[in-house]
Structure 1
Amino acid sequence: MTPFVKGLLALAVCLIMKDRVGANSLDKRTSFAKRANKDTYYNIYTKINALEKDLKNLKTRLQKKNKLLRQVLQSVIEMDSNLELPDKNLKKQTNLASKKNAVGFTTRLKGTTYSSTSSIIQGNTIFYNGGNAYNGTVFTSPSPGLYLFSVSVITNTKNSGIRIFKNSKPLTLAYPGYDNPQYKGASVSAALWLDVGDQVYICPYGSSLLVNGESVFTGVKVN
């Protein structure tokens, strides 16, 4: 084999080896690219799946928190309702206590004739007697305070009437007048400060007084 032929043969071998090396390099690059694309695809969907899972877990936790908040709110509402009930009961009890402790009375007077100015005019039908301070004839103050008393009389007695007394001291007078005997009316009131035990009552003014049964005597503690 001539040196020229040997040279051509060696050149051919080199070219063949170069092509194989290039082909191998191309195959490697192609394989790497495919693997890279596959890895990228895998990574994206893995992240999406992870995000979806996190979102689902977040929704679950949010639902649990909302349920817990509703339970807490319901508990607060129930507690508030339970707190209001004693307050309402207390107000009701206070109102009842106020009614029981309200001092005052109203009585219709006994229809009869009184012949003495020292006679205490009696009550007949007692409509109200808060504090039980009125015994049918005399009101006795159970506690210090400002009281208001009034009396209205219907009579046909001439030149007579009814006077309010405090502890035997005469005060205001309900006086129908000097007219001829016929039924007529008069009224009077008095605001008094009373201490415990002070007494208020009514007596005739004049030597004789016919009291009609529709006459009324009233007293009440105002402060």
Structure 2
Amino acid sequence: MRAFTTLTAKVAPLDRPNVDTDAIIPKQYLKSIKRTGFGQFLFDDWRYLDAGDLDIPVASRRPNPDFVLNQPAYRDAQILLSRENFGCGSSREHAVWALDDFGFRAVIASSFADIFYNNSFKTGFLPVALTADVIETLFRELAANPGYTLTIDLPAQRVITPGGLAHAFDIDAFRKDCLIRGLDEIGLTLQHADAIRAYEARRREQAPWLFTNPV
């Protein structure tokens, strides 16, 4: 998992509340357990003027010029700014995978659905919750300043505007530490690899019949 410490990046606005997981990655694309390849289908129903499925090459489809992520000003944005209840709807890790694969490292919103919020940390993706008033201010500043950037300082738990104004956010200390060190559940487990191997060696001596092939 990629570590997340401090990110200064362009911001893309998605000025909608209740962005659900089926909008983030439609159900017809949930046919793989790999974490890559989903970015091309991110916000699929909004990004394209024609319906898509796995049998239609993305390159042959018609982009919706009115959708924010198709506009040149927001190309290469790594921070998504949205409204309340982001990531609501059905449970799917693919929603986070699609955002990450597209190039986003963080979403800033006033609130998140619990399952999406929890899934984010398993991919090294940072959900940042700020108050509705701060979100409104950020949308106004973003609209007035093309190429608007923000800095997310995870160790300090601050979102910093180009003018230097810092907005604090809360995050669980354990999740914060894992993000900073780039450790998912597998990485955390592998920190104890020596102890696991020692246990397996002892167990093999204590109960060798468990390690023999059945006849």
Same fold (TM over 0.5): no
TM-score normalised to structure 2 length: 0.22
Q: Whose relative contact order is higher, 1 or 2, with alpha carbons under 8 Å and at least 6 apart? A: 2
More strand by share: 1
More helix by share: 1
Larger radius of gyration: 1
